[in-house]
Amino acid sequence: MIIAVEGLDASGKNTQTRTLEKLLHPSQRISFPRYEGPFGQVIKKHLMEKVALFERDSSAIPQWERSPDDAAAFQALMTMDKYDAASEIKALDRKGIHVILDRYWPSACCYGADDGLDFSSMIRINSCLPQANLNILLDISVEEATRRRPEARDRYERDKEKLKHIRGRYLHMWGVMGVGAEKRAWVVLNGEKDAIEITRQILAAGIDAGYNLHGIF
């Protein structure tokens, strides 16, 4: 079973994916972007605004400020990181190992769309990746995210208005993808609830989707 946990930074993804890794046996957790991977250091520098993949020409603008092409280049790196991990995810899944993903391709669609990229194209580009059996969105307000993490770590966390837009895009995506037969695979949970209760709800969503996760708690 592949479980992807998504949401804004500080929504509890790290807590939930690490808890699921301990509860589900056997399991392996993968966090995206993989900062220690072949593309990770460039991704990290870009998020920290230490490098722009496409810079504007004007010397009057700070070096890190991005041109319109920068979003496409950045998401290309993020996509390469995920496709580089695809064979590992497939191999683990074939062996019956639960794969717990802290962020996955839905993040690329929501963040990329808010940076001006075409949402439908982002979905199509990521469609050949191994697909999660369960996509969990931990929904929290931007105000709660800021309360949990007062010190912003990257350019996204510093832009509160952008985060509000991205939260809306996440909710829209789960509404679009979670229809018909796919509804049980796309689940929105209140990320502001108690962490133990959220874990219970994730496991219950997995059971509802047809997976044998009984007896975990």
Each residue's pLDDT, cut to its tens digit, for the chain (217 residues) gives 999 999 999 999 999 999 999 999 999 999 999 999 889 999 999 898 887 776 555 454 454 455 668 899 999 999 999 999 999 999 999 999 999 999 999 999 999 999 999 999 999 999 999 999 999 999 999 999 999 999 988 989 999 999 999 999 999 999 999 998 888 999 999 999 999 999 999 999 999 999 988 677 7
- Are the CB atoms for 83 and 129 separated by under 8 Å? yes
CATH class of 2-34+86-208: alpha beta
Res 57: pLDDT: 54
Query: Token match 């004007």: residue?
Result: 58
**Coil, strand, or helix at residue 123?**
helix
Instruction: Please tell me the pTM assigned to this model.
Output: 0.92
- For helices 70-94 and 105-114, angle between their N-to-C axes, nearest 10 degrees: 170
Paired residues of 137 in beta bridges: 6, 188
pLDDT, position 66: 59
Ordered strands of the 2-6 beta sheet: 27-31, 98-102, 2-6, 134-139, 186-190
Could you report the per-residue pLDDT of 43-99, keeping only the tens digit for each? 999 898 887 776 555 454 454 455 668 899 999 999 999 999 999 999 999 999 999
Of 81, 85, 89, which is closest to residue 108 (Cα–Cα)? Answer: 81
Look at residue 97 in the predicted model and tell me its pLDDT: 97
